[in-house]
């Protein structure tokens, strides 16, 4: 009889994504209501929890032999599950390397290490190809990544790293290592304007980015990105979830925006 977990509950979308990618979706017996990738998971798997709130009994009802959680934001439910006798693994991936390590760990937990290493290799190839393309860009934009607008919150570490891989420079790189969103709140939203980003990328977690609201901000009219029309969205579902999708889809989306800026009319006009 296999000693590997057979009934797994995933309380964030990225571990669901990994298990599907490894061909191990049959082990999943419950997911978070915020799971979006892959789309079929929402149709196939019961939603047993939100993200940081929910009913413990709904998780226990599916009789999990392993629950996968994420970060201190799920510390309370992880504690309660442990008290209820349920094995729990809490991930805390905040960087690109952490994302790759998470994939390898999930693979080991379900006996699919070879498949996990193959997936990691595919993602590393995307990273290296993007880095090589970025090295050939004629110029690098200063990028303001906005994770939320009210209050203004700058990008988390893996996003900042992906911007650099794609050929950009995160104007709030010094804040990116702070894991909590509240620690990345800009005390003065005009500070982003003062740093003169060439490219503004919005990814408002859980709601549609509104470029027209950014453009209309008082005091932002002379910001290069606003003046030259370089204010764009990358969907939060593909960049703010620290799983394979951030590398497979989020990174190419960033690279396209950065490449379009770097190779745009302004570059062509240079002597």
Percent of residues, the chain, with pLDDT higher than 70: 97
Q: Is the pLDDT of residue 268 over 80?
A: no
CA separation for the pair 148, 153 (Å, rounded)? 5
Instruction: Please list, residue by residue across 1-23, b when 16 or more beta carbons sit within 10 angstroms of its beta carbon and e when fewer do.
Output: eeeebeebbbbbbbbbbbbbbbe
Residue with tokens 């993602």: 123
- pLDDT, one tens digit per residue, over 218-237 is 999 999 999 999 999 999 99
Percent of residues, the chain, with pLDDT higher than 90: 92
Collapsed DSSP state (helix, strand, coil) of residue 225: helix
- pLDDT on residue 266: 63
Q: Is the pLDDT of residue 1 over 70?
A: no
- pLDDT on residue 267: 58
Q: How many residues does the chain have?
A: 271
Q: What pTM value is reported for the model? A: 0.94
- pLDDT, one tens digit per residue, over 89-107 is 999 999 999 999 999 999 9
Q: Across residues 67-94, what is the average pLDDT? A: 97
Q: CB-based contacts of 3: which residues, under 8 Å, 6+ apart?
A: none
43 burial via Cβ count (<10 Å: 0-12, 13-18, 19+)? exposed
- pLDDT on residue 169: 98
The per-residue pLDDT of the chain, averaged, comes to 95
Q: Across residues 28-33, what is the average pLDDT? A: 97
- pLDDT on residue 111: 97
CA separation for the pair 221, 214 (Å, rounded)? 10
- pLDDT on residue 271: 40
CB 110 within 8 A of CB 24: yes
Strands 142-149 and 152-154: antiparallel
Neighbour tally for 38: CB within 10 Å: 17
What is the full DSSP assignment across 158-205?
A: HHHHHHHHTT-EETTTTTTT--SGGGGB-SSTHHHHHT--SEEEE--T
**Res. 179 pLDDT band, cuts 50 70 90:** confident
**Res. 203 pLDDT band, cuts 50 70 90:** very high
Q: Is the pLDDT of residue 269 over 60?
A: no
Q: Is the pLDDT of residue 183 over 50?
A: yes
Q: Across residues 140-167, what is the average pLDDT? A: 97
């Amino acid at each position: 009889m296999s000693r590997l977990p057979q009934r797994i509950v995933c309380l964030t979308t990225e571990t669901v994504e990994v298990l599907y990618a490894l061909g191990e979706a049959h082990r999943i017996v419950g997911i978070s209501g915020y799971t979006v990738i892959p789309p079929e998971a929402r149709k196939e798997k019961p939603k047993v929890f939100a993200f940081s709130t929910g009913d413990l009994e709904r998780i226990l009802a599916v009789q999990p032999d392993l629950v996968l959680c994420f970060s201190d934001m799920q510390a309370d439910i992880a504690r309660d599950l442990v008290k209820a006798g349920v094995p729990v693994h809490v991930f805390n991936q905040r960087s690109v390397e952490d994302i790759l390590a998470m994939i390898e760990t999930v693979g080991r937990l379900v006996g699919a290490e070879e498949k996990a290493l193959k997936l990691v290799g595919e993602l590393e190839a995307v990273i290296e190809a993007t880095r090589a393309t970025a090295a050939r860009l004629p110029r690098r934009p200063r990028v303001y990544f906005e994770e939320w607008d009210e209050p203004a919150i700058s990008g988390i570490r893996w996003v900042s790293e992906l911007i650099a891989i794609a050929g950009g420079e995160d104007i709030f790189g010094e804040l990116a290592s702070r894991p909590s969103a509240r620690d990345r709140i800009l005390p003065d939203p005009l500070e982003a304007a003062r740093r003169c980003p060439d490219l503004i990328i919005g990814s408002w977690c859980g709601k549609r980015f509104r470029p027209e609201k950014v453009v209309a901000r008082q005091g932002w009219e002379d910001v290069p990105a606003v003046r030259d029309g370089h204010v764009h969205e990358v969907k939060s579902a593909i960049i703010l979830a620290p799983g394979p999708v951030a590398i497979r889809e989020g990174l190419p989306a960033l690279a396209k925006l950065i490449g379009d800026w770097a190779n745009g009319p302004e570059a062509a006009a240079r002597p």
